[in-house]
Structure 1
Amino acid sequence: MEARPLKMGNIEAKVPLIQGGMGVGISLGRLAGAVAKEGGIGSISAAQIGFKEPDFDTNTKEANLRAIQKEYDKARAIAPDGIIGFNIMVAMRHYEEYVRAAIDAGADLILSGAGLPTDLPRIAGDSRAKLAPIVSTDKSAKVILKYWGRKYKRMPDLLVIEGPKAGGHLGFTKEQLKAYDQAAYDAEVSDILDTVRSYEEEFQCRIPVALAGGIENKAQAEHAFSLGVDAIQAATRFVTTEECDAHIKYKEAYLNAKETDIVIVKSPVGMPGRAILNPFMEKVMAGERIPHSSCHGCLQKCNPSEIPYCITDALVHAARGEVDDALLFCGAYAYKADHLETVKEVIDSLMPERV
């Protein structure tokens, strides 16, 4: 199986691999820049990106907007000619402002999921940034392609399919995750590709597709490419790299995890996710309510008076290495990591022969 460069209009990634966005503070400028330097697509997570700023607690939005530029500049200094994008969740408050800030910073690509980015073309306007919605099902792919086609007369520059083995928030119900079957999801991917091809024909364009979720070795990458996608997206494998922005204790949590430690959890806003079982999550799963800081305004559909814990607090704890008090998001195969690697080593271990 050969992996060809990923073309999105006038830009091309020599390595058809996207490093998935991981927040809070796990994929920032250092990791994204390292991936872009190796020829892949580096992705900076915009989720509460300003958590290190001194005024984050009192001036959250402005701290995040400031950090978007700082982290982009950091990545661009590492990879002057690389492709650097931002992963920005639709579910975030101030979504439009964050998208515009990323574009103004110089982002080559905006990847957007955790909800359907129906109005991303309006927000991006005539900017040069490529637009990449993230979907999990053929149904969601049809919705976004139909909507963009009818309202904006345009198609995505890239479509990312995120499967049920991914980390973080997932676009599936808990029941769907329990009933996961590889062959069945392969069929879903095939349906999505058929839908994409129908819109390519209608709009006389090319829509490259990337597949994400549980791709942690070369055989899985080859399987993904065999389905007909143009690229893969991987995130978990990059956590345990020397260049990853995560705290060393966060990385060690992956290195020390066993298969039985990887569990499906529910976020404060009701979405299922995959994480490492730790003292914090044991308390949450036992029904304990965790005291939290004043609201940082992260997610649109969140009522601070009703949540069992604050996801910003939990993820900031993770980013700072306070792992016993943290939500440790991860992919299905996080437990397989047993040593630190470089970004180059990870990419080389994932990619089939390149042409």
Structure 2
Amino acid sequence: MKLPELKIGSFIAKIPIIQGGMSVRVSTSALAVPVAECGGIGTIGGSGLPVPELQEDIRKAKQATKGVIAVNIMYAMKDFYELVMGSIEAGADMIITGAGFSRDIFKIGKQHNIPIVSIVSSPGLATMAEKLGASAVIVEAAEAGGHLGTQLSLRDLFPAIRKVISKIPLIAAGGITNGFEMAEMMDKYGADGVQIASRFVLSKECAVSQAFKEAFLRARKEDIVLVSSPVGMPGRAIKTPFVDKMLNDEDISAGRCQFKCLKKCSHKYCISERLLAALNGDLENGLFFSGANTFKMKEILSVKEIFDSFVRAAESVYKEKCAVY
């Protein structure tokens, strides 16, 4: 059966897929635009960017597509407010925010008539987000890449949040690698759509280096591990010599803070420095955030090919009596 559209605020995605916003400079307009053109919600990762650079990329995206362009900004960023206001000024269609919880963001959303989408990992935060005015909630579970707010799997966490959220769209995120899993989350678990991030790293359009993509392609299940982040949250990443040093409690401190990017930072290492190293393909020193199921992905495809594959598989089983999940 044909997949339903996803409506968030006044915006409609023809295909109920949100491309996850990956910072720093992993998901730029180069990725967000083709996602939006395919009918999904394209997301620019706004964290860790100077406001003028982010605004330029948003304007570039908005000029290139009539589709929906969102910006993902971590609440943990010191310049969170400036990034949010800069994104709104540049014409972003919606703001997606996680890695902490802001009450004020909903007031900003109402003042500027822009949808706010909250990434949460508990029923309590989901309920609070809906009450404060979130236009949608993304349930991000333990299988996700990057910063994590829970140890619960998606299939354990999502039903608990589905029970308490009924008035706004609820999006499933974490470890979804194909259209069959997408249909399962929507059909069996009642998701209104899905958020997918790691799969889009392995797209032709993603702006990361080829070495970054090769790290994803080579990753085995045992190579994808939990790490600690200076943000104060655990994260999921691919093993590298840098990650091995972290896991072995070796000294990985940066010495001095170049970026001063976080509200609170443990200074165990500089996360911006390590994410930029990964972006540039530094397999020795980079921090390559990755979803738990990246090891299942074995080819680089265009964004359109990824969408076609997801939709074809999902619609072959969605709402079909013969579907077995």
Report the TM-score, using the length of structure 1 for normalisation.
Answer: 0.84
Unpaired stretches in structure 2, ≥5 consecutive residues: 319-325
Give matches, 1:294-313, under 5 Å: 294-303=257-266, 307-313=267-273
Partner of 1:161 in structure 2? 139
Paired AA for residue 70 in structure 1: E
CA positional deviation for 1:194: 2.5
Give matches, 1:262-277, under 5 Å: 262-277=224-239
CA deviation profile, 1:170-222 (whole Å, cap 9, x unmatched): 012xxxx3xx4565x1xx3223222122xx3xxxxxx1111110110122111
CA positional deviation for 1:10: 2.3
Distance in 2 (CA, whole Å) between partners of 1:26 and 1:106 is 20
Partner of 2:248 in structure 1? 286
CA positional deviation for 1:291: 4.2
Contact persistence 2:178–2:309 (CA under 8 A) = yes
Contact persistence 2:143–2:153 (CA under 8 A) = no
Contact persistence 1:35–1:41 (CA under 8 A) = yes
Distance 1:247 1:181, change over 3 A: closer
CA positional deviation for 1:245: 1.5
Distance 1:181 1:46, change over 3 A: closer
| 1:102 equivalent in alignment to 2:100 | no
Classify the secondary structure of the residue corresponding to 1:324: coil
Contact persistence 1:37–1:78 (CA under 8 A) = no
Distance 1:208 1:322, change over 3 A: same
**RMSD value over aligned CA atoms?**
1.8
Distance in 2 (CA, whole Å) between partners of 1:190 and 1:251 is 33
CA deviation profile, 1:104-151 (whole Å, cap 9, x unmatched): 1101010011011321122334223211011111122123334x1xxx
Report the TM-score, using the length of structure 2 for normalisation.
Answer: 0.91
Contact persistence 2:224–2:237 (CA under 8 A) = yes
Q: Number of residues paired by the alignment?
A: 313
Distance in 2 (CA, whole Å) between partners of 1:144 and 1:84 is 21
Distance in 1 (CA, whole Å) between partners of 2:9 and 2:248 is 50
Identical columns (%) = 38
| 1:17 equivalent in alignment to 2:17 | yes
Distance in 1 (CA, whole Å) between partners of 2:154 and 2:274 is 31
CA positional deviation for 1:337: 1.9
Distance 1:77 1:313, change over 3 A: same
Unpaired stretches in structure 1, ≥5 consecutive residues: 50-63, 149-154, 201-206
Classify the secondary structure of the residue corresponding to 2:164: helix
Partner of 2:221 in structure 1? 259
Distance in 1 (CA, whole Å) between partners of 2:250 and 2:291 is 25
Partner of 1:214 in structure 2? 175
Distance in 1 (CA, whole Å) between partners of 2:9 and 2:288 is 36
Partner of 1:340 in structure 2? 300
Distance in 2 (CA, whole Å) between partners of 1:181 and 1:30 is 31
Distance in 1 (CA, whole Å) between partners of 2:286 and 2:145 is 15
